[in-house]
Structure 1
Amino acid sequence: MTAAPGVAFSYAYLYTLPSANISRVQELHAQACERLGIDKCRITGMTYNVRGPDDVDASLEVKLAPPLARAFGREGTHAVEAADGMLSSAAIKGTDVGTEIAAAESSASTLAQDGKALDRQISASRSDRQRAELTQQRAALESQRRDLAANVRGQRALLASTPLTFTYRAGASIRSLHATTPLMRAADTALASVEATVSFVLQAIAILFAPLLAIAVLWLSWRWRGRRLWRWLRGPEASD
């Protein structure tokens, strides 16, 4: 990607991994950027949000020297996979700024020639009114030239650094995605089935615990006090 002359690229990666590992992986990616040095990698943004035990998301934005961008993203993905995560999506976009720079420089050259022609006309003019009008035209050309120069500087800045964004979200990775044998895929499926069953049993216990506890308390209360109270309310039974 970086071999394309005049094209400014941007990289975006979305990862899914356990919520408990998100902050650690984000820190690993930030440290990897810092090790490259500020001339090759700069952190430009970072977020971390916790809304619940399994509702966590985060992001890391950096600007890299263009030749390092792809390798940095690849190593970042390896770190996520080592933390039981997975790459959910990746996007690489390119903008042809080289063509825009060439067009802006050509326009600037034309404006410079027009400016020189106006300078000659201003010097040769004998009329104050005409000289004032030509001076205004010359000022307008100079303003256009400055705008083009600023645009060229901005486009060159896009070529000088590559923005890369890591986005992290909590979730379960698909472990069998990279499995190479049917046995590994079957083992992953079996493990996922066991986890789902255990999770269902625990949730059922959590849901039924409160009602069962209430029933047990009522039954014990009846055994302890309820029968005596009932006998007292009924009074002594008549004998035959």
Structure 2
Amino acid sequence: MTPAVVRALDEARRVADHQTDQLQLPDEPSLEAPIPGNPISHDQLIALSKFLRRHADQLHNADDPFPYSLDTLLKGCTIYVPPPPPKREPTPEYKALMERLRREEEARQYQRMINPPAPEALYEEDDVSYQEVHRQIILIINVLISVVCCSVFIWVAARHWSAPKRLGLSLSGSGLIAVAEVVIYNGYVRRIKQAKLEEKKKPEIKKIIESWVIDGSATTKDDAVSIPSKDYTEDGVRYRKGKHR
């Protein structure tokens, strides 16, 4: 509402107070206590302008009823933006869910803090993958070279035979070479895996040469006392089992 709209409402109540109820449209802002800044709808402004034009002869300035026209009432008006509705209170189920998710995230962060992933392991996996791919490519190239060389050799060696026999012999020989290459490679891979498993199963042997008691008051090495280890064997070597790293 602008001051002009407030004066127009006061003038409407003075002229015909018993008829101003028709200005209060359903589901529209209240016009009970008009003050500048209160909301008013466009339909209410149209109804107010028409109401004052019908009672133009009873206005204070009856000779000039245009100050209460719709154009005059709209001057200075701005679009009213209602305040946002109040935020709904979260339900107990929602609060319980968020609390559970928060606890789980805190637990994951704590686990990541006390057990950080080792970047070396990731790099090792990348290196192993690269080496495996490189080895597979070299293997394929070697097999192809062996097959081609064998085919060419058989084809040249059987040059006195007919073309169909030479072709069949070359294909058969190259196929046998390819099968032999695959069998040999599988055996090699199997032996490598077995060797790695056996190497992991071997116990780690650590030897203690000598033990020293470090005394803070000792200033030289001669002040330190050498003590025997209770785990020493007869030859002065203690064996300790463990895994290879």
Question: Normalising to structure 1: TM-score of the pair?
Answer: 0.29
TM-score, normalization by structure 2: 0.28
Between structures 1 and 2, the one with greater strand share: 1
Larger-gyration structure (1/2): 2
Task: Give the structure, 1 or 2, with the largest relative contact order (CA under 8 Å, sep 6 or more).
Answer: 1
